[in-house]
Chains A and B, each alone.
Chain A
Amino acid sequence: MNGYQAIPELLRRHGSTTVFGVLGSSNVGWIGRGVADGTIRLVKTRHEETAVSAAAGYSRVSGRLGVCSATRGPGFANSLNPLASAVHYHAPLLLIVGESPASRDRTTQDIDQRTLATTLGAGFHHAADGDELESRFWDTIAAVERDGTPQVLSIGDGVLEGEVPLEPDVPREPRPRPAATPDRIEAAVEALGAAKRPLIVAGQGALLAGCRADLERLAEATGAWLGTTINVNRFFAGHPAEIGLVGQSAPEITKALLRTCDVVLGVGASLNDYTLDAGRLFGDAAIVQVEADPEHPRRATDEGLHLVGDAAATTRALLAAWTARHPDPRPAPPAPPTFAELAAAVAAADIGHDPARGVDLRALYAAMDARLPSDRIVVTDAGRTRSTMAALIDTVDAHSWLDSRGYGSVGLGLGYAIGAATAAPDRKVVLFSGDVGFMMASHDLDAIRLNDLDLTIVIRNDEQYGAERKYLAAVGLPPDLARQTLPDVPALARALGGDGVVIRDLDEVRDEHLAQRGLFILDVRLDPVTDWRPALDRARLPAGVPG
């Protein structure tokens, strides 16, 4: 077969049938072939930024590889911000591009794609001719699967038109997923055995390895609390030992409990400054780190506690070694406050909100949490107004709670939400976005229309660059420059075949708004003055609730 047929065929063999993309000369042929043959579903976006983010969101919700494509040169350049963001989060996605600088084709779309991709930290694989295509493809897949780092597959000039030999279609050998070495397993079990208050912290690596059940069993055996980084909020949703979010963004009530932990087992978590709250959370605790990538910065408190291995295999090895030493499980830890108890406390904290200035963001979150169907998928864009959302809106699991923030980029949430809506057409997907991030991506409200998707968007509209206020205040300047209104959002929604409403009081949110199919936008006018974050610190549990 030729290259046009081979790429869709390789994607089919891998089980990847959905491609997010913007068409261009270097990708329209193979996408066209795959769509015509029924092996590919193309979800069109108006900008590559959205296509890449959508692949990340699709991957998160479906647990499968996210595939996206951009044309060479400008299309690739437009992909760099979401790619950098996906690199930061280890969002497993494959970006397929045409070769650039062109080696044979006559084109002006020249840009040094390999240097740009590798500078971001993504993998780059180039199939210079047809003979290389299949092996490069599977190399790329293996690299994504290793630790979730996004990979770029570059299709050389002439490959699409040329003959591409493919091996027979036989099931692939599962990739070996080794556990950490036995001495490290023993050292970790030793540390856990001495723990009075152990904590398991799951990060993105735990989600990618799908080891929730294994980690819960390990927690039940060792008497550990179960917490997550912000990347995988709600990973342990509903488990009696779950303590929720661990890190700087956790409520102070949770942080107070976390500070009592003496052994922390991080699984697939980078244990960065945010998770460790700049060293304030686990001052004297022993840290055991389970990490797939030996290159990753070491946070274990002792080299013997740095466990390099697959998260699921290592967790099972830890449980086996633990059970061999401790046939009887340790007692369960004191029950932490539930999600609902914490949420109520955060929502009730006095932070000086004045209803005359606009809606209370926390009340908005609480209303959505109460009114949306329980199998909802929620997505948040970056920005100041995101801080309390993880504590106030619940979902059934971490595959239903998406944060597009990446390395501090606004505007990628819409892409994530489009990916989520594609992955789960039967579930309610709600994007929460600030006004600035909303407008930045607003061209791709059109992707909802073009692909017949359902998406509800809640704009946390404070009519300003909220995050920039403090930088102006820091140098004694007034905040006026950071302020601007949104355009007429309901009209914008209608232009794109949807509908929308401006909400100045939460009583104005009607059930039919939340039940609307297609695109529906709620432009919620927030109190722009209140700093919401202190609610996390000031929240207090009512008497009688443990914690």
Chain B
Amino acid sequence: MRGFQALPELLRLADATTVFGVLGSSNVPWIADGVYRGTLRLIKTRHEETAVSAAAGFGRVSGRLGVCSATRGPGFANSINPLAAAIHYHLPLLLIVGESPPSTDRSWQVLEQHALTDALGAGFHHAAAADELVPRFWEAVDAVAWNGLPQVLSIGDGVLTSEVSVPDRRPPVPARAAPPADRVVAAVDALAVAERPLILAGQGALLADVRADLERLGERIGARLGTTITVNRFFSGHPAEVGLVGASAAEATKRLVRPTDVVLAVGASLNGKTLDGGTLFPDATIIQCEIDPSVERRATVEALYLVGDARATVKALIAEWEARGLPDRPAPSPAAPTFDDLADRIAETDIGHDPRRGIDLRAIYRLVSQGAPADRIVVTDAGRSRATMAALVDARDARSWLDSMGYGSIGLGLGFAVGAAAAAPDRRVILFTGDVGFMMSSHDLDAMRLNHLDQTIVIRNDEQNGAELKYLAAVDLPTDLVRQSLPDVPTLARAFGGEGVVLLRVDDLDAAWLTRPGLVILDARIDPELDWRQALLAAS
């Protein structure tokens, strides 16, 4: 077969059935071939920014490889911001592009794609000739699977029209290594003397799909179960779950986890946010399970740094615990408040909300959490008004709770939501976004129409660049500059075949909007004066 037929065939073998993309000269033949043969579904977006974010959202919700494609040059350049965001979160996705600078094609779409990708920190695999397509493809797919780092597959000039031979099955998946036995022993030594252990799951735990094993380990060692913000709701519903741990956690949660004496971090980078600038576990022993030996070490001693696959590591820890005949430890006490208990306390805390200024955002969060279907998928864009959402809006698991913030980029939430809607067409996707992030990506409201997707968007509309207010206030400048209204959102929604409504009061929120098919946009005018984070502090 020829290269443009081989690529869809390889994607089929990789169990990738959906590609998000913007068509261009360098990708339209292979995408079209896959679509016409019925092995590939193309979700068209209006901008590459959305396509890459959508692949990240799709990967998160489905647990499968997120695939996206941009054409070479400008298409690739438009992919850089969401690619950088996906790198930050280790969101497993494969971006397929045409070669640039071109080696033999005549094209003006010249860009140093390899150097740019290297500067971002993603992997880059270039199939320069037809016989390199198959090995480079699997190399890229395996690299994504290894630690979730996004990978770019570059298709050389002429490859699509050349003969390529594709074996009819995928090569064996590389074995997943457990850490050295002495490190496992050292970790269990530390856990065996722990009085108040905490298991902290990050993105790596989600990628390794190790929830059940971690819960089993937690029950053996009597640990609380917490997560970083990237995998909020990972332990949803477990009696020992303590929820979100880190700078964004509720003060009540921070109080519960501060006495922790041993932290077992699994697939979590333990950055300044998770450790709350070092204030959360100043004296605890930290055991770090990490697949990538180059990640910055946070383990208290070298012997507690366990390099290996998360699932293999957790299984080895359980096996060592059981081999020693250690008894199950009692469940942690006092019991942590349930999600709803804590959420209600946060929502009811007085932080000076004045209904005349606008809606209390917390009330919207609670109404959605209680009124939307239980199997909903919630997505949040970045921004100031996101602060309390992790504590107020529940979802059934971490694959149903998506945060697009990445490295502090706004506007990528819509793409995540497009990917979520494509991954789970029979579930309701609800995107929460600020007014600025909403407008930044509003061109791809059209992706809903083009691909017949369903989604409710709740705009946390404070009619300003809310996060920038404090920087003006800090230098005594008037804040008018950061204020601006949105356009007419209901009319905008109708232009894209959807519906929209302006919410001036909480009571205006009709639960029917949370299930109505198609695109629904709720422009919620929230109180612009409040610092919502205060609610997290005050709820203790």
- Tell me whether A250 is interfacial, beta carbon within 8 Å: no
In the assembled complex, how far is the CB of residue A74 from the closest CB belonging to chain B, in whole angstroms? Answer: 3
Select one of A23, A108, A482 contacting B28, CB under 8 A: A482
Residue B314, interface by CB 8 Å? no
B-facing mask of A83-96, CB < 8 A → 1, else 0? 01100100000000
Q: Is B42 an interface residue when CB atoms closer than 8 A count as contact?
A: yes
Residues of B within 8 A of A348 (CB): none
Inter-chain CA distance A475–B7, complex, in Å, is 14
Is B477 a contact of A32 with CB atoms below 8 Å? yes
Stretch of B330-338, B361-369, B491-499, B529-537 that contacts chain A: B491-499
B491 partner, pick from A161, A474, A495, beta carbons under 8 A: A495
State A481–B119 Cα separation when bound (angstroms).
34
Flag if A439 contacts B35 (CB, 8 Å): no
Q: Hey, what's the 0/1 contact readout for A481-521 against B, CB within 8 Å counting as 1?
A: 11010011101101111000000000000000000000000
Q: Is the CB of B74 within 8 A of A84?
A: yes
Q: Once the chains bind, are B25 and A467 in contact (CB under 8 Å)? A: yes
Option from A115, A443, A471, A494 in Cβ contact (under 8 Å) with B25: A471
Q: Is B508 an interface residue (CB 8 A)?
A: no
What is the CA–CA distance of A44 and B436 in the complex, to the nearest angstrom?
11
CB neighbours (8 Å) of A494 from chain B are 488, 491
**Closest-CB distance, B497 to chain A (whole angstroms):** 7
Contact call A474/B29, Cβ cutoff below 8 A:
yes
Q: Does B408 contact A (CB under 8 A)?
A: yes
What residues on A are CB-neighbors of B410 within 8 Å? 74
Selected interface stretch from B105-113, B129-137, B163-171:
B105-113
A471–B116 Cα distance when bound, in Å, is 27
Nearest B residue to A88 via CB reads B108
Contact present for A477 and B36 (CB under 8 Å): yes
Contact A482:B23 (CB < 8 A) given known A24-B468, A407-B111: yes
Q: Are A471 and B28 in contact (CB under 8 A)?
A: yes
- Known contacts: A84-B77, A119-B119, A467-B25. The answer to whether A111 contacts B33 by CB under 8 A is no
In chain B between 29 and 57, which residues have their CB closer than 8 angstroms to a CB of chain A? Answer: 29, 31-33, 35-36, 42, 44, 46-47, 49
Contacts of B23 in A (CB 8 A): 465, 468, 481-482
Interface presence of A106 (CB below 8 A):
yes
Known: A42-B481, A446-B439, A481-B31. A488 touches B494 (CB 8 A): yes
B295 interface residue per 8 A CB criterion:
no
Report A386-418 residues with CB < 8 Å from chain B CB.
406-411
- Within the complex, the shortest CB–CB distance from B322 to chain A, in Å, comes to 40
A487 touching B84 in the complex, CB below 8 Å, given contacts A443-B441, A443-B442, A446-B487: no
- Interface 0/1 of A426-446, CB less than 8 Å to B: 000000000010011111001
Please indicate the chain B residues that have their CB under 8 angstroms from the CB of A85 in the complex.
74
Judge if A450 is at the interface, Cβ distance under 8 Å: yes
Q: Does B279 reach chain A (CB closer than 8 Å)?
A: no
Docked-complex contact A81 and B472, CB < 8 angstroms:
no
Assess the B36–A481 pair: CB atoms within 8 A.
Answer: yes
9 CB-based A-B contacts, threshold 8 Å: A25-B467, A28-B471, A29-B475, A407-B111, A450-B484, A475-B33, A481-B36, A487-B496, A496-B487
Further 17 A-B residue pairs, CB within 8 A, beyond A33-B477, A475-B160, A484-B450: A29-B471, A29-B477, A33-B475, A36-B481, A84-B74, A88-B108, A108-B273, A109-B407, A119-B115, A120-B111, A411-B47, A439-B46, A440-B443, A472-B28, A482-B23, A488-B494, A496-B487
Chain A positions within 8 Å of B, measured between CB atoms, are 4, 23-25, 28-29, 31-33, 35-36, 42, 44, 46-47, 49, 73-74, 77-78, 80-81, 84-85, 88, 106-112, 115-116, 119-120, 161, 273-274, 406-411, 436, 439-443, 446, 449-450, 465, 467-468, 471-472, 474-475, 477-478, 481-482, 484, 487-489, 491-492, 494-497
